[in-house]
Amino acid sequence: MSRGNSTGRVSVVLEAVEPGVTRVRLSSWSGRFVGYEVSAYIVDGVLIDTGFPRVASDLLDAIEGMKVRGAIVTHWHEDHAGNAAMLADRGFPLVMHASCESTLRARPAIRPYRRVVWGRPDRLVAPLRAFDPAPLELVPLPGHTVDHTGVWDARRRILVSGDLYLGVKVRVAHRSESPGRLVASLRAAAALEPRLLLDAHRGPVTDAASKLRAKAKWLEETRREIMSRSEAGDTPRAIARRVLGRELLVGILSAGEYSALAFVDAVLREGAATSRPPLVRTSVAPSDR
């Protein structure tokens, strides 16, 4: 089944994934132009993610009549949390990580290309009205962002995974990402043994547990290679080129915000923060010599 509300500006298309599970595909003309779209999902009457700001009124039209009882936001990025403020203003029940809520209340600036593709979210002002999403469970899966949260449907063995997966070999990242925590989250998600991932950008992904493990393995090996080349004295730019290859279109369009070089920086920054502190040289007093 597919029903849509598609204008030249934004597009909202509802697709049945399986009984009780609907994919809400959202795109803007500028996003389609560069090949970006994002999906929210409705599982048992719970909306998971709210899309980007430009799609606000079309999203409301599309979910009308779907008997949505509340929404969960996977993380603060504008293509996931973009309509959280609008839904909160309307008294719509919302659940999100505390850090996601404080970020939306602070309303950080975003780079121009993200404003062009998605729009900048309004500041979250209204208090949150909580609801119980049971039988769905929230699973903390940090790494992509600190607030990143998955939604687990144990009966169906479906994990609504936000931006956890995106593909096995994703060769770009944001500098603020935590690749080490992402590896741990991928392993934790795989340990749930999901049969299906509902990925925000890739759509439904089958054979989910093995793909999560494959990504964890690739990411761990890539981290190790980046760190050992850095210890050998290679520059971040040389490492990015050697380990991750040429910059992709997204690296260029985002002016390096999501790039191979930012991936290397994220690994090295995290590695420096978590490695053992250097040995403190004991000063020796002259009289001891």
Give me the residues that bind Zn ion (CB under 5 A), please.
Answer: 77, 163
Local structure of 145: helix, strand or coil: coil
CB of 243 vs Zn ion, minimal distance in Å: 23
The two structure tokens encoding residue 20? 């009780």
Peptide bond into 179 cis (omega under 30): no
CB of 118 vs Zn ion, minimal distance in Å: 11
CB of 59 or CB of 239, closer to Zn ion: 59
Local structure of 41: helix, strand or coil: strand
CB of 153 or CB of 163, closer to Zn ion: 163
- The answer to whether the CB of 100 falls within 8 A of the CB of 121 is no
CB of 126 or CB of 138, closer to Zn ion: 138
- Kindly write down the DSSP assignment for every residue of 59-90, as one continuous string: HHHHHTTS---EEE---SSTTTSTTHHHHHHT
CB of 58 vs Zn ion, minimal distance in Å: 21
Query: How many alpha carbons lie under 13 Å from residue 188 in its C-beta half-sphere?
Result: 18
CB of 10 vs Zn ion, minimal distance in Å: 19
CB of 163 vs Zn ion, minimal distance in Å: 4
CB of 52 or CB of 152, closer to Zn ion: 52
Query: Hey, which residues does 259 pair with through a beta bridge?
Result: 173
**In this chain, which residue has its C-beta nearest to Zn ion?**
77
CB of 79 or CB of 247, closer to Zn ion: 79
Q: Residue 253: which H helix or E strand, with range?
A: helix 249-253
CB of 35 vs Zn ion, minimal distance in Å: 16
- Taking Cα atoms as reference points, which of 118, 123, 131 lies closest to residue 103? 123
Instruction: Indicate if the alpha-carbon torsion angle 163, 146, 95, 7 is positive or negative.
Output: negative
CB of 229 or CB of 257, closer to Zn ion: 257
The two structure tokens encoding residue 111? 């780079």
